[in-house]
Structure 1
Amino acid sequence: MAAMSAHVRLTEAVEALLGSHSGLGVVVNGVFDSPPQRAVRPFAVIEDAVLVDWSTKDMIGREGRLAVALFEAGEDRKRLRALADRIAAAIPELPRELGEGWRIASLAFVRSRVFREGPGLCAAMVEFRVRMLQAN
């Protein structure tokens, strides 16, 4: 069986963390790794991380942006802002050891924003910079 990629390990860790997080998992109607066909808002989607090479002489490395999107019904952004703040507080709790040699070397909040998606719909995006290393 082939080793799992940095993308897979990172996404699985975020999905597990947010799905079981006491301040978030019980408030949203699901945490998904791709947009769901049917889901009742609010829900979260872990966007596919944009990763680039960050290797060293003796370790494979990836650096990039990790983003979690939140989708909410209604145009009252107060609750959505609170959910985005919970994600911003939760992501730094990711385990540093992700498995198959992958380890988070650093993780930093970059930005968040709330925006209108359409009539009666709004969304938020919370982004982090992540640096990962895998021992050879």
Structure 2
Amino acid sequence: MQPGFTIGELARAAEVPTSTVRYYEREGLLKPSGRSAANYRLYAQEDLERLRFIRAAQATGFTLGDVKALLRPAPCGRVQGLIEDRLAEVSERMAELRRVKRVLERSLDACREHAPTGRCKVVEDLSCQAKGRPRA
């Protein structure tokens, strides 16, 4: 396809700074489809789609190394492995967030329980939990 976007136009269309486009170029994730008569970088619609894919992949937690692997022609098994690895990381993070939620809920309950006395034991309770001891 005929290149049609300057770097600024590409960046605006993808809603990223031009520095991001340049960074992805340095990392080998993106390259201009051509150059103008004045030697400005020019990009095609496919480049915009690639840039949007890179951003979407990053938003789901893939590293730039993973994105490079996803952009290379690869057997489905390789892509599946990357997705499975990422899914496992997300599951671990979700379990950790559930644990944090429980701690915060208990802390909030403790605040509410001790509010009438004016003495909040949340700091003490959290400190005990961090040490692995049950609260008194």
Asked if these proteins are the same fold (TM beyond 0.5), I'd say no
Taking structure 1 as the reference length, the TM-score comes to 0.25
- Of the two, which has the highest radius of gyration? 2
The structure carrying a bigger helix percent of its residues is 2
Report 1 or 2 for greater relative contact order, CA contacts < 8 Å, sequence distance ≥ 6: 1
